Amino acid sequence: MSESQQVILNHEAGSGVPLTLRNVSIVYRTRKGEVQAVRDVSLDLHAGESIALIGESGSGKTTLGLGIVRLLVKSAEVTAGEITYRRDGKEIGVLALNKNALREFRWKECSMVFQSALNAFNPVIRIWDQMRDTAQSHGWKDKKAIRQRSLELLRFVQLDADRVIDAYPHELSGGMRQRVLIALSLLLDPQVLILDEPTTALDILTQRTIIDLLRKLKDEQHFTMIFISHDLAIAAELADRIATMYAGRIVELGSSDDIFYRPRHPYTLGLIRAVPKVVGDFQELFSIPGSPPDLIDLPSGCKFHPRCPYATDRCREEEPDLETVGPDHMAACWHWQDVEKELQTKPLHSVA
């Protein structure tokens, strides 16, 4: 255990806000029109914190994640807002970075762990080549040191380092590949990790080992992490704070316990009531009627109103902004107090 603490860079549970998003909007230009994938998102990510961006298809969570590291496709554009990154007292405006500075930023400051699909890897090169290429393309030339570090990291993610480093991607299982991707993301000692659906498509037992590994990264190494997922369960396991996203906006933001036991936005409530728990007695589940909106042709007012049981005329006309509904807890809903009242009669308990 102490060995692994030496392996990774000193990440003290520090203070500071490594990442700030202010009023970020991202648009995709398609033939059919402009897709408003992310609309006016603001977020502060504190050092050592892990935030989960939870949403379904079309929520904008993946776009936002890609936007932070500026890996969006050409047809997408950040049309508004600022992304500020801080480390050791320096401040960088991420959106203004030129090509070289961006390369420095990506992977050295903020790296991304993609889904472990086979096509996250170049199939014709070995894992070592992938790691060396990544390191060298970000300015690190010392092959011996890179090799050393790669082996360390592979061991940290509990792989048989000597065997894996010379393997081809297709020789590894899905779980092993996901671990390699995590090791790869740590190669240049970033401060912030963004993980996109890190456990989707993995089997249950494999998923558990990855979750435990990420927990280790969080608890022992104090990494600052953003999880992007549609899976509420992984948020419950790993996140300190959760932001639920709908139609490109954050509709609720709060601590994990607040979100799960004291939600104030009808969408969050709907999601929680739609997800079954395995352990324990039977629970009634409820689905959310309707389907996510067309991002090119969004409804007026609050985008959730067509599916919302609390919707009134005001909801059809005005889109609510995030407002404080509790300590460090915000929700974007005109009727959050109705949700609060509902939960007083039908509270959400832990099944434990």
Partner 1 sequence: MALIELKNVSRTFGKGDERVVAVDNVSFAIDEGEVLCLVGESGCGKSTTGKIVAGLLEPTRGQVLFDGQDISKLDKDSFRRYRHAVQIIHQDPYASLNPTQTVRQIITRPLLRHHKVSGRDGAEKRAIELLEIVDLTPAHDFMDKYPHQLSGGQRQRVSVARALTVEPRFIVADEAVSMVDVSIRVSLLNMLSRLQEEFNVTFLFITHDLALAKYFAWEGRISVMYLGRIVEDGPTRRVVMDPRHPYTQALLSAVPEADPELARRKKRIQLRSADIPSLLDLPPGCTFHPRCPYFVEGRCDAEVPLLAGIPEGGRVACPVRKDVSIQLVE
Question: What does the binding site for partner 1 look like in residue numbers (CB under 8 A)?
Answer: 56-57, 158, 173, 175, 199, 203-209, 211, 230-237, 256-257, 260-261, 270-272, 274-283, 285-289, 291-292, 350-352
For tokens 């990291």, name the residue.
153
C-alpha–C-alpha distance, residues 85 and 21, integer Å: 9
Half-sphere exposure of 35 (CA within 13 A, CB side): 16
CB 335, min distance to partner 1, A? 19
CB 262, min distance to partner 1, A? 12
- Cβ atoms 131, 169 nearer than 8 A: no
Taking the least distance from each CB to partner 1, the nearer of 263 and 320 is 263
Taking the least distance from each CB to partner 1, the nearer of 166 and 203 is 203
Taking the least distance from each CB to partner 1, the nearer of 10 and 283 is 283
CB 332, min distance to partner 1, A? 18
Question: Cα 309 to the chain's mean position, in Å?
Answer: 28
CA 209-215-218 angle, 5° bins:
150
Q: Take residue 237 and report the two structure tokens written for it.
A: 């396991």
Q: Are strands 224-229 and 192-196 parallel, antiparallel or unpaired?
A: parallel
Phi (first) and psi of residue 120, to 5 degrees: -80, -10
Residue 341 parent element (H or E): helix 336-345
Q: Take residue 51 and report the two structure tokens written for it.
A: 């935030």
C-alpha–C-alpha distance, residues 101 and 284, integer Å: 52
Taking the least distance from each CB to partner 1, the nearer of 246 and 336 is 246
CB 249, min distance to partner 1, A? 17
Taking the least distance from each CB to partner 1, the nearer of 40 and 231 is 231
Taking the least distance from each CB to partner 1, the nearer of 142 and 294 is 294
Taking the least distance from each CB to partner 1, the nearer of 121 and 304 is 304
CB 331, min distance to partner 1, A? 18
C-alpha–C-alpha distance, residues 294 and 104, integer Å: 36
Q: Where are the extended beta strands (E) located within the chain?
A: 19-30, 33-45, 50-54, 76-87, 90-93, 110-113, 192-196, 224-229, 241-246, 249-255, 323-326, 329-331
CB 8, min distance to partner 1, A? 21
CB 221, min distance to partner 1, A? 20
Question: Cα 168 to the chain's mean position, in Å?
Answer: 28
